[in-house]
Amino acid sequence: MSKHDSSRGTPYDNGDTSRDIYSNSRSSRGSSSHRPPNRKKKGSAKKIVIRVLLVVLALLIVTGVAGALYINYLLGLRKTPDDLESMGIPQLSSSVSTSGSDVSQPPEVKDIMNVLLIGSDTRSQTNRGNSDSMIVFTVDGVHKKIKMTSIMRDIYVSIPGHNDQKINAAYAIGGPELLMDTIEQAFDIRLDYYAIVDFAMFEDVVNKIGGVDIELTEAEANYMNRKNNPDIDQETTVSAGLNHMDGKTALNYSRIRHLTGDDFQRTQRQRNMLRAIMDQSKDLNILELNGLIQEVLPNVTTNLSDSQILSLAMQAGSILKYPVNELRIPADGTWTNTDRKVTGTDALDIDFEANSELMKDFIYEGENPDKASAKSTSVEKTGSQTDASSTKGTSSKTTKKTSKAN
């Protein structure tokens, strides 16, 4: 045997060449205590984690930027006080205005927030300067309620800095700020914001949410079914009782005024339509709510700030589930027709002190109306006052509180 052969013969002494040749290698691989750390794999895992985190971060940034841009787009749809002049609506100098919108700390949604809804009807081109309807829309975050207070447009009132006139003339004279000042002075309440809306907008809104359910009296159904009706833009077929209405039918319903009750019942119909819209909107998903917001904002002019609109939008789902209470001013038994002729029609002479107390009790329920932030009460009141259907005035003597003009 050669030297070379003898040196290679040692591994073959036990006769198991396969096992002996790889025995050291296999034992080292099988024993975890002898395995060297795999730094390369650990480094690769860290890189993967970092890359995933960077991708997620990038997606969040892109989503955030896109969300911010979209929010700005939505907010840009609405009109602001800067647009009033182009709309032909007069403005009251901020140095003259005393309305609640000028306070340094406006209320938040969690408090008691009063928004004056100023409605107009674009069909009435000859008298488009006056406000067609006025509803104090209260979001009561303290008692978890929505409250709607209609103010009759024919109330004879003292307008700050001007002669006594019908209350809706304040809008034609000094825009939304003067109308807010007039209402605040007459009823000793606080108005925080305003929103000017064209009631024609509600046709598209109602269609957007799939229609609304509204109860009709027999007189209302017969009137809406009449041909050549001055209040109706289209021929309709409705019946007494509950009707599911599309946008045009619901809008026609809210415009009825030539029935018993005249404007008194018309304000009730307007509230009925608003209530029906809120009821129908309660169960909308986020995409449907977004579509509704896009429908509404371009038709609204408001002094609500961006943050207030966003706050309301984010809480819309819960706010829409609040119970809705209603009030009409003047209340029954607190008004009479005046013998004054204003723009060729009668005006309402009302007991301002009695109606002021009714409004404050209804809206604030014992809270301090002068506070920007109302504190929660331990016992929730019912706020059960609603608009009475009676429209007859009273022959009893009424008191008209006249405030001196500024």
Residue 262: both structure tokens together? 């005249």
Tally of CB atoms within 10 A around 146:
19
pLDDT digits (tens, 9 = 90+) for 32-43: 455 555 555 666
* Local structure of residue 126 (DSSP, 8 states): G
Highest mean pLDDT: which range of 31-35, 241-245, 314-318, 392-396: 241-245
Residues 6+ apart with CB under 8 A from 274: 135, 148
Distance (Å, rounded) from C-alpha 346 to C-alpha 396? 18
Number of H helices, E strands in the chain: 12, 12
pLDDT digits (tens, 9 = 90+) for 258-299: 787 778 888 999 999 999 999 998 888 878 877 887 888 888
φ, ψ dihedrals at 335, nearest 5°: -150, 160
* Local structure of residue 36 (DSSP, 8 states): P
Q: Specify the 3-state DSSP secondary structure of 223.
A: helix
Average per-residue pLDDT in the chain?
A: 74
Distance (Å, rounded) from C-alpha 202 to C-alpha 224? 18
Which amino acid appears at position 332 of this protein? Answer: D
Distances (CA, A) of 213 to 241, 267, 279, 362: 10, 18, 9, 26
Question: Interior CA angle at 268 toward 266 and 269, to 5°?
Answer: 65
Alpha helix ranges (H) inside 229-281: 247-255, 262-281
Closest CA to 282 of 344, 324, 241: 324
Q: According to the model, what pLDDT value does residue 363 have?
A: 96
DSSP characters for 54-114? HHHHHHHHHHHHHHHHHHHHHHHHSB-GGGTTTTT-----TTT--SGGG-SSPPPTTSEEE
**151 bridge partner residues:** 134, 329
How does strand 241-245 pair with strand 212-216?
antiparallel
Provide the whole-model pTM. 0.69
Q: According to the model, what pLDDT value does residue 271 have?
A: 94
Distance (Å, rounded) from C-alpha 12 to C-alpha 17? 6
Q: Are 194 and 304 in contact (CB under 8 A)?
A: no
* CATH architecture, range 91-364: 3-Layer(aba) Sandwich (3.40)
Q: Name the packing angle between helices 39-77 and 306-314 (round to 10°).
A: 110
pLDDT digits (tens, 9 = 90+) for 120-153: 765 554 444 567 889 999 999 999 999 999 999 9
How does strand 145-151 pair with strand 324-329?
parallel
Cα 219 to chain centroid, rounded = 32
Q: Specify the 3-state DSSP secondary structure of 149.
A: strand
Q: How confident is the model at residue 64 (pLDDT cuts 50, 70, 90)?
A: very low
Q: Are 186 and 95 in contact (CB under 8 A)?
A: no
Distance (Å, rounded) from C-alpha 181 to C-alpha 174? 10
